[in-house]
Amino acid sequence: MGLFFNLPKHRVFNYQPVFYDPKKEDLDARIAKAEREKAEAEGKEKEPYVPGEYIKRNFRSNYEKGKKVSGKENVNRIIRIIGILLVLVLLFYFIDGFSLFFGK
């Protein structure tokens, strides 16, 4: 069957990271460990920085604030609804809307 099909050979890649430095990685790990131990000795627990955490926290708190409706807003909403209903009843009365029901 080798006459009809020409299959390419399997390719093997030898990837080595360009910027990898084992000495620097080891030094960074030891510095981070020393800083954690120092913070624990002082009694302060330092939270690691997480990119975007402040944005997430603000979105969450603003969303929760938006869901809450104060009592003053509820009263204003009820007054508006009553006002709209009153205007509709007055329009219906002045346009002789009652004549439809009472037949004049």
Q: What is the DSSP string of 65-100?
A: HHH---HHHHHHHHHHHHHHHHHHHHHHHHTTTHHH
* 8 A C-beta contact, residue 73 and residue 79: no
Q: Which two tokens stand for residue 30?
A: 């030891």
* 8 A C-beta contact, residue 98 and residue 92: yes
Q: Give the whole-angstrom CA distance, residue 73 versus residue 99.
A: 38
Q: Give the whole-angstrom CA distance, residue 31 versus residue 33.
A: 5
Our measurement of the distance from residue 36's CA atom to the centroid of its chain's CA atoms, rounded to an integer in Å, reads: 30
pTM above 0.85, yes or no: no
Q: Answer whether residue 54 shows pLDDT above 60.
A: yes
- Residue 91: band (very low, low, confident or very high) from pLDDT cuts 50, 70, 90: confident
Q: Answer whether residue 72 shows pLDDT above 80.
A: no
Instruction: Say how many residues make up the chain.
Output: 104
What pLDDT, on the 0 to 100 scale, is given for residue 92? 79
